Structure 1
Amino acid sequence: MSDNSQATAHEEDHTGPVKTPKQLLLAAFFSFVIPIFVIIGLVYYVTSANKPAAGSVNVEKATAERIQKVGMVEIRDANREMKSGEEVYKAQCAACHAVGAAGAPKFGDAGAWGARVKTGFDALYNSAIKGKGAMGAQAGGDFSDYEIGRAVVFLANAGGGKFDEPKKPEPAAK
């Protein structure tokens, strides 16, 4: 082998796939353009799956759901006729106290109510208002605290208590 052929063979070993300036420009162009189109395609694919069909969204309802109030104010008639202890018991308390569900003392069971009656009206009333054991808090429900107090007296007196009915609260001064 001649020295000249060795030099040519040596140069060919170090050359890459790009042999002309045109190939270099095409390689540079496609190395930037193809990834951009791939990224655009992936973005389109990912975002298109979450789009609802045209006309399938009730815009007014969707807007109302997004801006709905966190809380609400309920205005009740303060001058309504107050329910008796028996009426409140039947509406609110009888579900558990009539059958003794979840450990509730049964209506009229003097043995079950005896120890509770000894704690006094205030303790029984606070248990009813704030909740105790499996019984949830009764305050803030369909009945006023005064009506809950009347139900406590009705239940406790049926179980052997001798409590007087709570006094009706005075209307707030205007």
Structure 2
Amino acid sequence: MNKLAAKAASALCTLGLSVALATSVYAAVDRDAIIDRIQPHGNICVAGDETCGLGAPAPSASAGASARTGEEVYNRFCAACHASGILESPKFGSGQMSARAAEKGLDGLLATSISGIGAMPPKGTCNDCSDEELEATIQFMIDAE
């Protein structure tokens, strides 16, 4: 083999080795990045599960949070439907809530708001609302009439 061919072969081997090393390094970096991206962000603990959280009870949904007012809950979760009366919901300020309160009573309206009715899902769209917050919201809607 002449000198030129030997140099060319050496250069090609060096280039091939460089590409192989770079590819394996990038593959390792990609694999590490993928492993980092698919790591769980946390664990789910169920109340009473002694194997989770070193035996500490799971916090409740509203633990440490102060109760929201009826107006706050209404504005955030209820106004989307009740402001316009969409899907046969009692329209805010129209007297319909007072009529339903007279028919079912506050306890009946609370039970309905907890279990849902018609197109309204249980607890409306406020899954973390306490019964007291829902009752305050119902009272807020009645008082607005």
Q: Aligning the two structures, in what range does the TM-score lie when normalised by the shorter sequence?
A: 0.5 to 0.7
Contact 1:130 1:136 survives alignment (8 Å):
yes
SS of residue matched to 1:119: helix
Cα distance change on mapping 1:101 and 1:61 into 2, 3 Å: same
The alignment-based identity, stated in percent, is: 31
Query: 5+ unaligned residues in a row in structure 1: which ranges?
Result: 1-53, 160-174
1-structure distance, mates of 2:110, 2:46 = 28
Higher relative contact order (CA 8 A, sep 6+): 2
SS of residue matched to 1:129: helix
Matched, 1:125 2:101: no
2-structure distance, mates of 1:124, 1:112 = 9
Query: 5+ unaligned residues in a row in structure 2: which ranges?
Result: 1-26, 48-57
Greater helix percent: which structure?
2
- The letter of the residue matching 1:109 is S
Please report the TM-score for the alignment, with normalisation by the length of structure 1.
0.47
Contact 1:105 1:113 survives alignment (8 Å):
no
2-structure distance, mates of 1:97, 1:61 = 42
Structure 2 residue aligned with 1:148: 134
TM-fit CA distance, 1:143: 2.4
Cα distance change on mapping 1:60 and 1:153 into 2, 3 Å: same
Q: Give the length in aligned residue pairs.
A: 106
Cα distance change on mapping 1:69 and 1:154 into 2, 3 Å: closer
Give CA deviations for 1:117-170 in whole Å, capped at 9, x if unaligned: 3211111001111111111111872322211110011112334xxxxxxxxxxx
Query: How do residues 49-88 of structure 1 correspond to structure 2 at under 5 angstroms?
Result: 57=31, 58-62=34-38, 64=40, 75-76=60-61, 78-88=63-73
- The letter of the residue matching 1:102 is L
Query: How do residues 1-174 of structure 1 correspond to structure 2 at under 5 angstroms?
Result: 57=31, 58-62=34-38, 64=40, 75-76=60-61, 78-111=63-96, 113-138=98-123, 141-159=127-145
TM-fit CA distance, 1:59: 2.8
Contact 2:82 2:91 survives alignment (8 Å):
yes
CA RMSD of aligned residues (A): 3.4
Bigger drift between 84-93 and 111-120 goes to 111-120
Cα distance change on mapping 1:116 and 1:77 into 2, 3 Å: closer
